[in-house]
Amino acid sequence: MKPENIMPATSLDETDRQIVVATQSGLPLVPQPYHAIAQQLGITAAEVMVGMRNMIDTGVIRRIGVIPNHYALGYKANGMSVWDVPDDQIDVLGKTIGDLEFVSHCYHRPRHLPDWPYNFFAMVHGHNRAEVEEYVRKIARLIGEADRGHQILYSTRILKKTGLRIGG
């Protein structure tokens, strides 16, 4: 199976790339943020807005808005639930589980047998571990007999956390 992320990606033109670099850590908090970026880059506001709309259409920008900090909002427990499910059922299960409001990331990933039998990942957020475990039981009920084994991996320590960045 070919990982999705080595499929040909949208290549950014130079203007798009400049817009990404100028906005990847956030939009300026001024009444006309797109004009401010345009001024910074020496292009027109229309160019910035067209570039950003195109990047939304091509999926380069997932969305624009506020990114809440789970932890500050009381979602202090997060568990990476990992599942061994039959490959031929995974897409159907992925749609169902990915739609659950307590799941923030949901992926099909490769197994590494014999050490790692799990091919389906769902990151679950709750206020505490008991809530995370309740949500995981809910996922288990939805997966039903296709669940050939699962685990919850909790993070015990953040070793590094920096945002993804592309260079200027």
Q: Which of residues 90-119 bind other proteins (CB under 8 A)?
A: 90-91, 94-95, 97-99, 101, 103-110, 112, 115-116
Residue 83: CB minimum distance to other proteins, A: 12
**CA pair distance 91, 146, nearest whole angstrom:** 12
Structure tokens at 80: 């990476």
Name 54's Cβ contacts closer than 8 Å, sequence gap at least 6.
16
Residue of 90, 92, 130 lying closest to 110 (CA atoms): 90
Structure tokens at 136: 């995981």
Beta bridge partners of 32: none
**CA pair distance 108, 155, nearest whole angstrom:** 20
Contact mark string toward other proteins, 55..94, x via CB under 8 A: xx-xxxxxxxxxxxxx-xx-x----x---------xx--x
Residue 32 sits in the site that holds other proteins (CB under 8 A)? yes
| Shorter beta-carbon distance to other proteins: residue 24 or 128 | 24
Residue 14 sits in the site that holds other proteins (CB under 8 A)? no
| Shorter beta-carbon distance to other proteins: residue 59 or 144 | 59
Binding range to other proteins, per CB under 8 A, among 128-136, 138-146, 148-156: 148-156
